[in-house]
Structure formats: C-alpha cells, structure tokens
Amino acid sequence: MIDLEFVINVLSLGSLYAMLALGLVIVYGILRLVNFAYGELIMIGGYTMYLLAGFTPLPWLVIASLAVLAAMFTSLFTEFVAFRPVREKSLTAMLITSFAVSTFLQNGALLMISPRARAVTLPPVFQSSVMIAGTSVPWRHILTIVTCIVMLALLTLLLRRTVLGIALRAAADNFAMTRMLGVPANTVISTAFAISGLMAGLVSIFWIGRSASVTPTIGGPPLLVAFVATVIGGMRSLTGAVVGGFVYATIISLLGIFLPPDLQEFREAFMFAIVILVLLIRPQGLIRSRTSVERVG
Amino acid sequence: MLELQDVHVRYGAITALRGVSLSVGEGELVALLGVNGAGKSTTLASIAGGLRPQQGDIRLEGSSILGKAPEQIARLGLSLVPEGRDIFASLTVEENLRLGAFTRRKETEYRRNLSEVFDLFPVLRERLPQPGGTLSGGEQQQLAIARALMSSPRLLMLDEPSLGLAPALVDQIFDLIARLHQRGVTILLVEQNVDRTLEIVDRAYLMSTGLIEGHGTPEQLRTHGDIEGIYMGVRRQKD
C-alpha cells in the first residue's frame, strides 16, 4: 500500500510531471499560449535517441544530450518560423498555429520514419534497481527525481539571479511594460521557448525510458498531463506548475491503489472529475500568481 | 528633442488622435492637459511605441521613431511612467529597479542611479526586498518613477502621476517633478491637476477630442482663458 516504494514512485512521477508542466507554463506565462505542439518536442527527443542509438556508435550520455538539444532546437525553430510571424495577430492565430505545428511534426515522423513504434536502445541503468531500506528502487526513478531537483534549482537561479530571468518573470506579469523598459520581446520569448524545449527534451529521456519505444503520437499523453497539471496548479505560476505536477502524480497513484480493479481503466476519468472539481472550487488553480492579489490604493 | 507632426491614431472605428502636433525641447518641462478621453494617454503610448499611428510622424532628436518597437524606443533614452503605474507586483522593489536599468547594464552606472533614486525616494531603500504589489499606492507611484529614472532617461514621460494619491503625496510628487526638471531632465507630463501643473511647467498644450486646442506658457494660457474653455468643454474661437 502506501510504503517507501509508493512514495518513491509518486516522487518520480511527480518530478516528471512537474518538469512537463513547467515547460508548458513558461511559454503560457508570457504569451498566454498553450503550445499544443509541446508534446511533439518529446517525440523529437525520442526519435533523436532512436536514430542516434540505432545508427551511430555514440555513447548514451552524448545521445541523451543531443536529444535534449534537438528538442530545444525544435522549440526555438518553431517559435521563429511559426509563432513569431503570427504573434502580433491574435491569440487564436497562435493557438491554431500550435495545432498546425503539432500536426506537421507528427505527420513528418509518420512519413519519414514509420507509423509503428520504434524501439529505443537504453543503457542498462534504466532496467536496474538499487536496494534502499529493503525496497528495490529503480535507478530510473532516482535519476528522474535528481534531474527534477537540479532543474528546479537551475531555473530558480536563472529567474532570481539574472537580469534575463527577472525580465522573464516581469514579462509574465506585464509584457507590454517589460518591453517599454527596453527588454526585447524576441529575447524573452526565445528564452521561454528554449526552456520549454529543455524541459521537453529531459522529459523525453525518462518518458521513453519507461516504454523503451517511440511513436509519432507519443507526445499526446504527456501534453495532456502537462495541461491538466497546470490547470490544477495554476496557469500563471511556475510554482503552481510544480505543485500541480506532484498533485497530479499523487492523485493518479492513489487512484491506482484504491480504485477497485474493474474501475482501473477509468482512472483517467476519475482524475478529470477531480480536475473539474478543482476548477469549480478554485478556478485560478491551487497557486495564485501574485499579480492577481495585487494591492490597490 | 521630441517632435510630433500631425499624428493620427484610430482604434477600429474610433479616432483617438486627429492630427496632434507638439514639441518638447531639451531640458524642458512640458505638460499635456485636457479632460478624460482627450487623447493624452494615447499620445504618450504612441510616442513610447505602444500604439502605432496610422498617419503623421514622431521624431526624437531629428530621427523618426515611428513604427519602432517599444524596446527600441526605450533604448533611445525614452522612458514612460504609465497611468496606473504598471509596476511588477510579483517582483521585489529591487528587481523592479534592476529592470528599470535594463538599458544601462554597467554596474557603476546602476549603483550611481540607485543611490540617486534613494536620495529622491528614501522609503524605497527600506522596501527593497518586498514584492512591489505589497507597497502602498504612493510608494508604488514612487517606485514607478524610480524605475523610469534607473535608465537615466533623456526624456521622461509621466502619465497622471498624482492620480489616486492623498493630497500630501500629490504635493510630494509635484515637488519631485520640479526637482527633476531643475536637474535638467526633459519631461513630458500628462496631468488632470491643472493648477499644480501650471505652477511647475515651462509650457503646456491643451488637448480636447484628439486635437491640440492651444498651447503656450502658463501665463499665456491663464490670461487667454484657454484653460477654462477646455475644461468647460467650450472650444476657443480661433482668431
């Protein structure tokens, strides 16, 4: 039941979901755009690993790093060629563009590689475990948790200690005013997309680490998870994204334990019922951004 | 230093500016006066690059800044303190000031501007680690002006800085504007508080329904009765 194994499972899943949600929220915070092509960045990471591991002799760490870079590059590239030209038009135009980018990337993979799943060779560490207090803990979980902690620390440093990071937070608060202080819109937006791609790239390693395969539609489920986690945590807050990721992981894991076996296949339906409840009680999510509680007078 | 020539701005079917022309000389303190909806804030937003005029030209030191992005205009030394202050509520006072100096990245210049800002607004020194949103209205206004000054602006534009402040604070703000003017900062001021404004400015423009209806020194405007005309909604007979 709820033992060390469960806790580590939840922490690992929560770490993964928190990184996913962060990547979505960092762009949303500035552009108010839910980037529906976000899941495809994970797919790009997956296929990069598949191609490099299958057809080159590169060591796995290099392959994983290149997969992350590929996701970052794709994120930046789609911002440059697809989102930037429509940015001044309307939010709807950007939203539709994100669907178009998503469809384009998915079909690209479908045509150029295969509609069927491709096996991704992973290093032995993804299958091995370590004994902690009498419990067998997969290394995969430990790596996910450590990566998440490192990323949160780095992101906090960037956002609190650098002028660019402060500008990113200011842009999420009031983009027009940030620009009037001389902060270039393109720099802020590109940085947000780069961070988003970085998160997607890292997630792709661990997401694919679970199934050891990649398909053109692999981006769908993580996108949904990221979206739901941000709705739970609050779309306007990075802390909210992290909290939302961990809350999502906790609820879905608890449902996995406490739902009767014949209801297990409806686990997601229960999850979404809980989300609807959150939206009814706290439409702004669990964590409100400070902007919405601004003092007046 | 700043020159607007026949600037027109339309929002859909509404025409907000119908040919505004004005100029601000180096070191001058110039006011833009008029009732709500006259187009004063639209004029400032157009200069700062927040709005794009459909017609006319805006020149800063002889070169056109029309169509430039707000960040490019800020880099040319133009700083706007918008109506409603628009400080970053979730950022600390220090971070707000740090961003104000975004175009002045040299640490020595940042330190110098920071100490000047603390001279003008001692309260901000105590508030440095606090989020901007937790400051009182008067403190937020001081922060908004301080943030603009952090960029050592060549032209400072203030949009209704006294709005919503207690009378004692209004006096402080006007004193401050006068002091900045004495230091040689070029200022374009939009205000509703006509009496106080005319006490400190070199010249003023009177705006009504998107047009400049008159301009001159405070003495000229007072003696010709233009002010009453504008505020009573009566157009001056042009002679």
Q: What is the pLDDT of residue A209?
A: 87
Going residue by residue through chain A, which has 297 residues, state the pLDDT in tens, using 9 for 90 and above: 678 889 999 999 999 999 999 999 999 989 999 999 999 999 999 999 999 999 999 999 999 999 999 999 999 999 999 999 999 888 999 999 999 999 999 999 999 999 999 999 888 888 899 998 888 899 999 999 999 999 999 999 999 999 999 999 999 989 999 999 999 999 999 999 999 999 999 999 999 988 889 999 999 999 999 999 998 888 888 899 999 999 999 999 999 888 888 988 888 898 888 888 888 888 888 877 655 443 333
Tell whether A171 lies on the interface with B, counting CB pairs under 8 A: no
Q: Which residue has the tokens 């330190």?
A: B111
**Cα dihedral: B87, A167, B148, B86 (round 10):** -20
Q: Which residue of B has its CA nearest to A88?
A: B69
The arithmetic mean of pLDDT across residues B99-116, rounded, is: 91
Q: What is the pLDDT of residue B110?
A: 92
Tell whether B49 lies on the interface with A, counting CB pairs under 8 A: yes
Q: Which residue has the tokens 């490099």?
A: A52
Q: What is the pLDDT of residue A290?
A: 53
Q: What is the pLDDT of residue A49?
A: 96
Tell whether B237 lies on the interface with A, counting CB pairs under 8 A: no
* Per-residue pLDDT at B30 exceeds 90: yes
Supply the DSSP symbol for B92: B
CA A139, A141, A145 angle in degrees (round to 5)?
A: 115
Contact flag B75-A182 (C-beta cutoff 8 Å): yes
The arithmetic mean of pLDDT across residues B172-201, rounded, is: 91
Chain centroid to CA B162 = 11
Kindly list the domain boundaries of chain A, sorted by start residue.
4-217
Q: CB of A227 within 8 A of CB of A280?
A: no
- What gap in Å lies between CA B50 and CA B65, rounded to an integer? 12
b/e per residue B118-138 (b: at least 16 CB within 10 A):
beebeebeebeeebbbbbebb
CA B5, B6, B10 angle in degrees (round to 5)?
A: 130
Q: What is the pLDDT of residue B15?
A: 87
Kindly list the domain boundaries of chain B, sorted by start residue.
1-77+154-239, 85-153
- What gap in Å lies between CA B104 and CA B75, rounded to an integer? 9
Model confidence over B70-95: pLDDT tens digits? 999 999 999 999 988 899 999 999 99
Nearest residue, CB atoms, A182 vs list B90, B136, B151 = B151
Which residues of B124-210 form beta strands (DSSP E)?
155-159, 186-191, 203-208
Contact flag A181-B88 (C-beta cutoff 8 Å): no
Smallest CA-to-CA distance from A242 within A93, A68, A25 is with A25
Contact flag A179-B164 (C-beta cutoff 8 Å): no
What sign for the dihedral angle of Cα A56, A60, A66, A71?
Answer: positive
Q: How far is B159 from chain A (nearest CA, A)?
A: 14
Q: What is the pLDDT of residue A86?
A: 94
- What gap in Å lies between CA B118 and CA A287, rounded to an integer? 34
Q: What is the ipTM of this complex?
A: 0.89
Q: Which residue of A has its CA nearest to B131?
A: A290
Q: CB of B96 within 8 A of CB of B143?
A: yes
Q: CB of B185 within 8 A of CB of B14?
A: no
Element (H, E) at B17: strand B14-24
Tell whether A166 lies on the interface with B, counting CB pairs under 8 A: yes
Task: Choose, out of B46, B79, B102, the residue to mutate when testing the contact with A (most A CBs < 10 Å).
Answer: B102
Tell whether B202 lies on the interface with A, counting CB pairs under 8 A: no
Tell whether A290 lies on the interface with B, counting CB pairs under 8 A: yes
The arithmetic mean of pLDDT across residues B22-26, rounded, is: 95
CATH, domain B1-77+154-239, list 3.40.50.300, 1.20.1740.10, 3.30.365.10, 3.40.50.720: 3.40.50.300
Task: Choose, out of A180, A189, A288, A294, the residue to mutate when testing the contact with B (most B CBs < 10 Å).
Answer: A180
Q: How far is B128 from chain A (nearest CA, A)?
A: 14
Contact flag A183-B80 (C-beta cutoff 8 Å): no
Smallest CA-to-CA distance from B156 within B5, B44, B46 is with B44
Tell whether A170 lies on the interface with B, counting CB pairs under 8 A: yes
- Which positions in chain A touch B90 (Cβ < 8 Å)? 169, 173, 289-291
- Long-range contacts (CB closer than 8 Å, 24 or more residues apart) made by B233-239: B233/B35, B233/B208, B235/B208
Tell whether B48 lies on the interface with A, counting CB pairs under 8 A: yes
pTM for this structure?
A: 0.88
Contact flag B90-A291 (C-beta cutoff 8 Å): yes
* Burial (0-12, 13-18, 19+ Cβ within 10 Å), A131: exposed
How far, CA to CA in Å, does A166 sit from each of A34, A46, B86, B143?
22, 32, 16, 16
Contact flag A174-B105 (C-beta cutoff 8 Å): no
Residue B137's pLDDT band (cuts 50, 70, 90)? confident
- Long-range contacts (CB closer than 8 Å, 24 or more residues apart) made by B76-79: B76/B154, B77/B151, B77/B152, B77/B153, B77/B154, B77/B155, B78/B2, B78/B47, B78/B48, B78/B153, B78/B154, B78/B155, B78/B157, B79/A180, B79/A181, B79/B148, B79/B149, B79/B151, B79/B153, B79/B155, B79/B156, B79/B157
- What gap in Å lies between CA B239 and CA B227, rounded to an integer? 16
Q: Which residue has the tokens 């040689």?
A: B184
Partners of B33 in the beta sheet? B191, B206
- Which positions in chain A touch B99 (Cβ < 8 Å)? 163, 166-167, 170, 178, 181, 183
Contact flag A180-B90 (C-beta cutoff 8 Å): no
Smallest CA-to-CA distance from A102 within A230, A222, A235, A244 is with A222
- Which positions in chain A touch B75 (Cβ < 8 Å)? 182
Task: Choose, out of A181, A236, A289, the residue to mutate when testing the contact with B (most B CBs < 10 Å).
Answer: A181
- What gap in Å lies between CA B13 and CA B10, rounded to an integer? 7
Structure tokens at A244: 């939302």
C-alpha neighbours within 13 Å on the C-beta side of residue A119: 4
Q: CB of B144 within 8 A of CB of B85?
A: yes
Element (H, E) at A164: helix A163-173
Tell whether A185 lies on the interface with B, counting CB pairs under 8 A: yes
Q: CB of A214 within 8 A of CB of A124?
A: no
Chain centroid to CA B62 = 20
Nearest residue, CB atoms, B70 vs list A179, A291, A293 = A179
b/e per residue A241-252 (b: at least 16 CB within 10 A):
bbbbbbbbbbbb
A2 vs B174, higher pLDDT: B174
Q: Which residue has the tokens 């620009």?
A: A179
Residue B35's pLDDT band (cuts 50, 70, 90)? confident
Tell whether A112 lies on the interface with B, counting CB pairs under 8 A: no
Q: CB of A109 within 8 A of CB of A216?
A: yes
Neighbours of A175 (CB within 10 A): 18
Q: How far is B42 from chain A (nearest CA, A)?
A: 15
Model confidence over B194-234: pLDDT tens digits? 889 999 999 999 998 899 988 999 888 887 766 666 665 44
